[in-house]
Amino acid sequence: MKVKVVDHPLIRHKLTIMRDTETGSKDFREMLDEISMLMTYEITRDLKLEETEVATPIVTCTGYRLAANSITVVPILRAGLGMVSGILKLIPTAKVGHIGLYRDPETLKPVEYYCKLPSDMNAETFVVDPMLATGGSSAAAITLLKAKGLKKIRLICLVAAPEGVEVVNKEHPDVEIFTAALD
């Protein structure tokens, strides 16, 4: 299985709070936001930077910025929306697109009902969905993004089931999967 479990102690701690039946809605949302932010920090280690000259109060020096228009965040509606805020806190210049899918009650296959994406098709794309269960929705969303021309795609979820990872790996072996827990 090609999956990276981001098992930082803070993420594990906050995920435990989220899973607790005693955790209320407000705290649940806050933990989702914080875990999304912490995961973003971990999974963006290899993003491309551009050198830039910066005038400091003392001298001009060389600094680094994320490559312009380099990141697009695409939540799978609606659950994925909860992860967007945490990502945007660290990468406020990221563009945001949306994919809406529902499961057909007869075929149990994902059906697209909405897709709105930014125009930059060369961006690193983060598909976000808190739960990777069967892998059907995530695989369908990735297929849709590839059909629209996106190539550099990463899947970010809080909890992944091995069966879902297997489906995404089989259909999209080029897509990295990042999760906080593999259950």
* Of 155, 156, 161, 160, nearest in space to 173 by CA: 155
Confidence of residue 108 (pLDDT cuts 50, 70, 90): confident
- 47-81, pLDDT tens digit by residue? 888 999 999 999 999 999 987 668 999 999 988 99
Confidence of residue 123 (pLDDT cuts 50, 70, 90): confident
- 84-107, pLDDT tens digit by residue? 999 999 999 899 999 999 888 898
Say if residue 133's pLDDT is above 70: yes
- 134-153, pLDDT tens digit by residue? 999 999 999 999 999 888 99
**Model's pTM, two decimal places?**
0.90
Say if residue 109's pLDDT is above 90: no
pLDDT above 90 coverage of the chain, percent: 78
DSSP 106-155: TT--EEEEEEE--S-TTSEEEEE-SEESSSHHHHHHHHHHHHTT---EEE
* Of 140, 84, 77, nearest in space to 108 by CA: 140
Give the contacts of 174 (CB within 8 A, at least 6 positions apart).
Answer: 153
Q: What is the CA radius of gyration of the chain?
A: 17
